[in-house]
Chain A
Amino acid sequence: MATDIKLAESPASYDGPGFSATSFDKIIGLARANSLWPLPFATSCCGIEFMSTMASHYDLGRFGAERPSFSPRQADMLLVAGTIAKKMGPIVKQVYLQMAEPRWVIAIGACASSGGIFDTYSVLQGIDRIIPVDVYVPGCPPRPEQILDGVLQVQELARNESLRRRNTEEYQHLLNSYSIQ
């Protein structure tokens, strides 16, 4: 039934007949949060788990993430799923750099978050050593529900982010600490 469709909640506003006044922050946050276009960077077992998250049963598309893009163009949520070897590190960073602001990053699973069980010479011990991460999803591998929860956390961040956050000195400082720009 069409009546079962749950619409996004409208932000707090001042309403009158024929108009609704709210702040830019809220309305743009609403749009961003409900149209996060994911760029899956899947390297191993977590990638397989992420595929089932995208497939019909768990259906990442329900959250406005209907266009997984495999290209940095127009993507604003980077999902790193799986072990990132040190040799792969520069490629992950390049993909991140090619994404336009605003962009969010989810580290899916133990390997992407911390290197996981691969405490060894060839594996990057967590992608937060090369790019800033917004949400870490624990698990080895995490269930699709956990990945969806991570996406919901990012939605929450996107919804409540100030429009000027990406211009703040603090954010510039964060990027500089990764020697970005």
Chain B
Amino acid sequence: MLTNEEVAQTIINQFGEAVTDFDDPYDLLTCSTSRDQIVPLITYLKGHQTFQFGFLTDITAIHYPDSVGKEFCVVYHIHSLINNFRLRIKVYLTAEDVHIPTMTPLFASANWMERETFDLFGIIFDGHPDLRRILNMEEMDYYPMRKEYPLEDGTREDKIDALFGR
């Protein structure tokens, strides 16, 4: 059984200051790193003798419009099927510069996950072989999951206030 402390200590020994903010919400080990370190970090964890994080569960993003300088956060979930151990890695980005290196050379499944993250949040994955929308229509000219837009359609007439006595 791998413990959170064990994995965290190994990462600290290997990467030192480059990986920070260790936490374990709901017992899921979480840490943050930088844009330059994310590929080496996941490469290391995937190739590690005992950890063997061989499965990329998910890549997605979060938008924090109010946190200055950390508007976007790209989240990686990796899973070691051998040890049944999960790890969450976060990379914070500024709104002006939403570039991050792609994970596709390491995990083929990252291709679609990154396309989805680009589609919904507009994160640019540098080096991605085919970065285009995957879920929404091609003509869509905005990134719908960013918290910049009203939640509702605005053109619906069956939800006007008058119908609800407001």
Interfacial residues, chain A to chain B (CB-CB below 8 A): 86-87, 114-115, 119-122, 125
The answer to whether A119 and B149 have CB atoms under 8 Å apart is: no
Specify the chain A residue showing the minimal Cβ separation from B149.
A121
The segment out of B16-24, B25-33, B89-97, B150-158 that lies at the interface is B150-158
The answer to whether B136 and A125 have CB atoms under 8 Å apart is: no
Known: A86-B137, A121-B149. A114 touches B144 (CB 8 A): no
Partner of B156, one of A86, A87, A122, A125: A125
The answer to whether A119 and B136 have CB atoms under 8 Å apart is: no
Number of B residues with CB within 8 Å of any CB on chain A: 13
The answer to whether A115 and B156 have CB atoms under 8 Å apart is: yes
Known: A115-B153, A120-B153, A122-B144. A87 touches B158 (CB 8 A): no
Known: A121-B144, A122-B144. A114 touches B137 (CB 8 A): no
* Top 5 closest pairs, chain A to chain B, by CB: A121-B144, A87-B137, A119-B152, A119-B153, A125-B153
Interface SS majority for chain B? loop
Interface residues of B in 55-112 (CB under 8 A from A): none
Question: B166 at interface (Cβ–Cβ under 8 A)?
Answer: no
What are 28 pairs between A and B in contact, CB < 8 Å?
A86-B136, A86-B137, A86-B140, A87-B135, A87-B136, A87-B137, A114-B156, A114-B158, A115-B153, A115-B156, A119-B152, A119-B153, A119-B156, A119-B159, A120-B151, A120-B152, A120-B153, A121-B136, A121-B140, A121-B144, A121-B149, A121-B153, A122-B135, A122-B136, A122-B144, A125-B153, A125-B155, A125-B156
- 1/0 contact string of B128-166 vs chain A (CB within 8 Å): 000000011100100010000101110110110000000
> B161 to chain A: closest CB distance in Å?
14
> A158 to chain B: closest CB distance in Å?
28
* Chain B residues near A114 (CB-CB < 8 A): 156, 158
* Chain B residues near A121 (CB-CB < 8 A): 136, 140, 144, 149, 153
* Chain A residues near B140 (CB-CB < 8 A): 86, 121
CA A125 to CA B154, docked complex, whole Å? 10
* Chain B residues near A86 (CB-CB < 8 A): 136-137, 140
CA A115 to CA B154, docked complex, whole Å? 12
CA A137 to CA B19, docked complex, whole Å? 57
* Chain A residues near B155 (CB-CB < 8 A): 125
A-B contact sample (16 more), CB < 8 A, given A86-B136, A121-B140: A86-B140, A87-B135, A87-B136, A87-B137, A114-B156, A115-B156, A119-B156, A119-B159, A120-B151, A120-B152, A120-B153, A121-B136, A121-B144, A122-B136, A125-B153, A125-B156
Q: Which of A87, A114, A121, A125 has the most CB of B within 10 A?
A: A121
* Chain B residues near A122 (CB-CB < 8 A): 135-136, 144
